[in-house]
Amino acid sequence: MKELFKRLKKFRRECVLAPLLKLSEAVLELFVPLLVAAMIDEGIMKNDNGYIIRTALIMAALGLSGLLLSVTAQYFSARAAAGFAGGLRESLYAKIQSFTYAKLDSLGVPALITRITGDVNQVQTALNLTLRLLLRSPFVVFGAAVMAFTVNARAALVFAVLIPLLAVVVFGIMLACIPLYGRVRKALDKVTAKARGGLAGVRVVRAFGTEEAESEEFSREHALLTSIQRRTGRIGAIMDPAAFLLVNLGIFALIRLGAVNVDSGDMTRGELVALYNYMTQILVELIKLANLIITVSKGVSCAKRINSVLVEESGEPERAPLPEKPVPGAPLLEFRGVSFRYENAAADAISGVSFTLCRGETLGIIGGTGSGKSTVAELIPRFYRATEGEILLDGANLDSLPESELRRRIGFVPQKALLFRGSLRSNLCWRDENATDEELLAALETAQAAETAAAKGGLDAEVEQGGGNFSGGQRQRLTVARALVGSPEILVLDDSASALDFATESALRKALKKDAAGRATVIISQRTASIAHADKILVLDDGIPVGLGSHGELLKSCAVYREIYDSQFRKEAARA
């Protein structure tokens, strides 16, 4: 929790002023019942209108002063809570951006979304209420009890009995509810994950007609969340009726005892009204305090979840520095017996992968679904680290390069074509924010996206969230253009032409080949036609390399490659 408290230091003034102002307002509130008692006993009972008016004016002044103090305290508490929550979101977002792919896989994207939205909102609410009520409510409760004894010690004994009973009920219910709030947040994570998956894959769900099954599964998760929330709500719902029952019993005892004392002359009517008012203040503040503690308990639970993300390691394993330098004449990219296993996986995703790739060469990678093609692609820019073997760049181990240099030298086009809200220019400048319009237009031309950009209005064309105003093929070509900006030394295309027709894909291949001087290209595809032109083709089968060579060589020597080819073309064409 230290990480969170550090971020409150910049709001020290607000965190001090807000409680102090609320305490000042509470002090004024405690004097009001005494003024009411004096108005009744000295003004109304003696028919002194002047005294009544003077007392009413004093009460009005106290009310206005209390209002001013309360509004000012609310301003400072809201400023501290909103500022703290804003900084917390920024820190969380920055921390999440530092996580490796492996760490994101282990934490889960839905859980991180819940942390940065719902959990931060809960912490903000808890902090706001804490600054306003944590000192004020206990002060009013005990202050009202003390003031009651100054009014009439004998009648105030009711307070001495009532307050402990109320505390037992309120805090007993609170302690029963607190563990349930943690279960509610975990169940909410599961519902969020299910909702996110269903919305992200809504087209697939509709295509296979599984809307009913998805709805039923979501309903089961939601029903579990609802049952926990109902149980928590039922326990929490006891608090207000129980507190009101006890306080009303106390009021009954107070009025019964007060009536006897008033009749005997041991208590005035004003004192009885003052005691009644103090009893009401205690009821209101105890309910506020109980709700505050529940809110704070939720906030603490959420704060722990947030803190666990902030203190989480980025996921990069500790390794000794490798002061390696490029080796003259070495291949641009080399895999030496590389194996990789995902966290908590039972077997390696890829095993014993070896190849070399020089400048100007193209490597194609093909294999069945789940054969490890994308895993190889994601190892090149070090999204994941190899568990065995070495990956070399210009003869130097990949781990010896700073991440910034690695990203500068490698252009990566992921399997899912994703654009960000903004302009076409802002999307293309991700690799090089200082790229000129000529460089951007050249990248668009190479990626066969120049006509698309011109039709949308040029480089300043608007791009919706996720590139929703572009077709799948247009998004793929624009992501290729984005990777080409800045002239990367290695271009990795992870199945980035799946939505293109054969003519457009062929034009893209030719343009990339023409523009490939000094650059190595890695193309991953399920179609042999997309990689047949490559200088080398790596064939993977269940994560194991089973072939490496040119298209013609593999047709003769690799049964897996020949099977893939024959499934896409007629066997007569394969023999020709």
Confidence class of residue 174 from pLDDT cuts 50, 70 and 90? Answer: confident
In a domain, 50, yes or no: yes
Mean pLDDT of 322-328: 63
Q: Specify whether 341 is located in the same domain as 430.
A: yes
Contact between 108 and 193 under an 8 Å Cβ cutoff? The reply is yes
State how far the Cα of 339 lies from the Cα of 341, in Å rounded to an integer.
Answer: 7
Confidence class of residue 425 from pLDDT cuts 50, 70 and 90? Answer: very high
Domain around 449: 333-575
Q: Which residue has the tokens 């490659």?
A: 561
Higher pLDDT, 330 or 438: 438
Q: What is the dihedral of CA 69, 74, 75, 81, to 10 degrees?
A: 150
DSSP 43: I
Mean pLDDT of 414-440: 90
Question: 541 is written with which tokens?
Answer: 């089968």
CATH number where 433 lies: 3.40.50.300
The neighbour count for residue 108, using CB atoms within 10 Å, is 13
Q: What is the pLDDT of residue 468?
A: 85
Confidence class of residue 210 from pLDDT cuts 50, 70 and 90? Answer: confident
Q: Specify whether 355 is located in the same domain as 284.
A: no
**pLDDT tens per residue across span 28-63:** 999 999 899 889 888 888 888 898 999 999 999 999
What global pTM score does this model have?
0.71
Query: In this model, does residue 502 exceed pLDDT 70?
Result: yes
Q: Specify whether 297 is located in the same domain as 355.
A: no
Residue at 417: amino acid letter: A
Angle between helix 120-133 and helix 49-98 axes, rounded to 10 deg: 150
Q: Specify whether 224 is located in the same domain as 256.
A: yes
Mean pLDDT of 111-137: 89
Query: In this model, does residue 321 exceed pLDDT 50?
Result: no
Q: What is the pLDDT of residue 575?
A: 44
State how far the Cα of 444 lies from the Cα of 255, in Å rounded to an integer.
Answer: 85
**pLDDT tens per residue across span 293-302:** 778 878 887 8
Query: In this model, does residue 160 exceed pLDDT 50?
Result: yes
Contact between 70 and 25 under an 8 Å Cβ cutoff? The reply is yes
State how far the Cα of 182 lies from the Cα of 305, in Å rounded to an integer.
Answer: 10
Mean pLDDT of 123-133: 91
In a domain, 366, yes or no: yes
In a domain, 316, yes or no: no
Q: Which residue has the tokens 């326990």?
A: 235
Q: Specify whether 402 is located in the same domain as 514.
A: yes
Contact between 189 and 114 under an 8 Å Cβ cutoff? The reply is yes
**pLDDT tens per residue across span 89-110:** 999 999 998 888 888 888 878 7
CATH number where 140 lies: 1.20.1560.10
Q: Specify whether 221 is located in the same domain as 155.
A: yes
State how far the Cα of 524 lies from the Cα of 508, in Å rounded to an integer.
Answer: 14
Q: Specify whether 295 is located in the same domain as 347.
A: no
Strands 544-549 and 536-541, sheet pairing = antiparallel
Q: Specify whether 304 is located in the same domain as 389.
A: no
Query: In this model, does residue 401 exceed pLDDT 80?
Result: yes
Q: Specify whether 130 is located in the same domain as 272.
A: yes
Total number of domains constituting the chain: 2
Confidence class of residue 411 from pLDDT cuts 50, 70 and 90? Answer: very high
Q: What is the pLDDT of residue 571?
A: 47
Q: What is the pLDDT of residue 574?
A: 42
In a domain, 320, yes or no: no
Query: In this model, does residue 544 exceed pLDDT 50?
Result: yes
Query: In this model, does residue 324 exceed pLDDT 80?
Result: no
State how far the Cα of 338 lies from the Cα of 74, in Å rounded to an integer.
Answer: 60
Tell me the average pLDDT of the chain.
Answer: 86
Q: Specify whether 343 is located in the same domain as 245.
A: no
